Amino acid sequence: MERNPYEVLGVAKDASADDIKKAYRKLALQFHPDKNPDDDDAEARFKEAAAAYEILSDEQKRAEFDRGGREPETFHGAEGMSMEDILGRYGDLFGSAFGQQFHAQRPVAQRGGDVEATLTIDFLTAARGGKVSFGLDGVKACGSCSGSGLRANATSSACKTCGGGGRVTEQAPEHGQFFSTTRACPACAGSGLDPAAACPACHGVGRVRGSRQIDVAVPEGATDGQRLRLKGMGEPGTRGGPGGDLYLLLHIEPSSRFERKGDDVIVTVDVDAPVAVIGGKVSVPTLRGTADVTIPPATGAGSLLRLKGQGIRKGDLHVRVRITVPEQPSEAERELYGQLRDLG
């Protein structure tokens, strides 16, 4: 800023923080754009006062100015800010009414809300990764207007009552200052759209309640309790705003066949007693099909045989041997087992 901030606010160099705040509040009320519509000079004075207050309300920036008599290095300059930015930063100095009325005349894009949900998947999908689709109930984009809020073949048209902001301000002077109350626009019910252009299905909001289909890419090796973030897949935004995020808490159903130990997987297979004694090959299930495993001679019950790289990611598949015997052996089998017993 070109002028001395103390001169702009009309305060002494030793003014207290409270005096500086009062001085800025007085100037901002005087040159506020709602009291001075289409007045470029008033807008410049309004921004100049904000720039001066930005320096003098910050102890570090004020000290830098006092030492050097120039703008501090940390000063960014409110004069280059938009009116909305200034009101958003300093509007709370004037009560809830000040600042709202300016924004009320401008439609603002709103980000959609975040959504949390639980997704149950089977063991193999979690281990291998893959695509999963599921239905999600809640707020979704209106199908009739594709979320625009506009009636078919209508062009964007702001409500004439609120100027497209969706809210109106009733303002009255009191003690030389302006006080106002803000409420939803009665003409457009807060949508900001010309009622004649509003989509009849969503009344101009662009969103409706219902169910939508969500496609999820489950990462390989997903774990129970893992939280996935799907950016932009939450509630849709309004007025062209971005969608919120969808957070999915994974619940993995246990497998009756596989047991997980980190990235390693254990599978139990039945091996006939003769094969366990003399060796042989058996077919075992894997995460992606089946594989033939060689059973060494004299393999005991509970032995683990490793299939390298057949687990999750770079993990291994461990085959646990469970030896089985015939439930109802034939006479020939009884005789053979008897001979084995006698040999032992």
Q: Same domain for 97 and 210?
A: no
110 is a domain residue: no
Q: Same domain for 248 and 120?
A: yes
35 is a domain residue: yes
Tokens 């020939």 — which residue? 332
209 is a domain residue: yes
State the amino acid at position 76 in one-letter form.
Answer: H
Q: Same domain for 244 and 275?
A: no
182 is in which domain, residue-wise?
115-252
Q: Same domain for 93 and 202?
A: no
Tell me how many helices (H) and strands (E) the chain has.
Answer: 9, 13
> What is the Cα–Cα distance from 113 to 194, expressed in whole angstroms?
25
Q: Which residues are CB-neighbours of 148 under 8 A, at least 6 positions away?
A: 156, 199, 206
What 3-state DSSP class applies to 343?
helix
Q: Same domain for 131 and 230?
A: yes
109 is a domain residue: no
Q: Same domain for 81 and 137?
A: no
Predicted TM-score of the model (pTM): 0.58
Q: How many residues does the chain have?
A: 344
Q: Identify the domain boundary among 204, 235, 252.
A: 252
Q: Identify the domain boundary among 221, 252, 283.
A: 252
| Structure-token pair, residue 148 | 């625009």
> What is the Cα–Cα distance from 62 to 81, expressed in whole angstroms?
20
Below-50 pLDDT ranges, the chain: 73-76, 95-107, 175
For the chain, the domain total comes to: 3
- Cβ pair 223, 165 in contact under 8 A: no
Q: Same domain for 312 and 184?
A: no
Q: Same domain for 70 and 21?
A: yes
Q: Same domain for 170 and 202?
A: yes
Cα separation values, 80 from 13, 35, 46, 52, 77, Å? 25, 21, 12, 12, 6
Q: Same domain for 244 and 120?
A: yes
CATH of the domain at 126: 2.60.260.20
156 is a domain residue: yes
> What is the Cα–Cα distance from 204 to 151, expressed in whole angstroms?
8
| Structure-token pair, residue 111 | 């980000």
pLDDT at res. 89: 65
- Cβ pair 8, 52 in contact under 8 A: yes
Which value, to the nearest 10 degrees, does the dihedral of the CA atoms of residues 22, 25, 30, 33 take? Answer: 170
Q: Same domain for 158 and 59?
A: no
| Structure-token pair, residue 334 | 């009884």
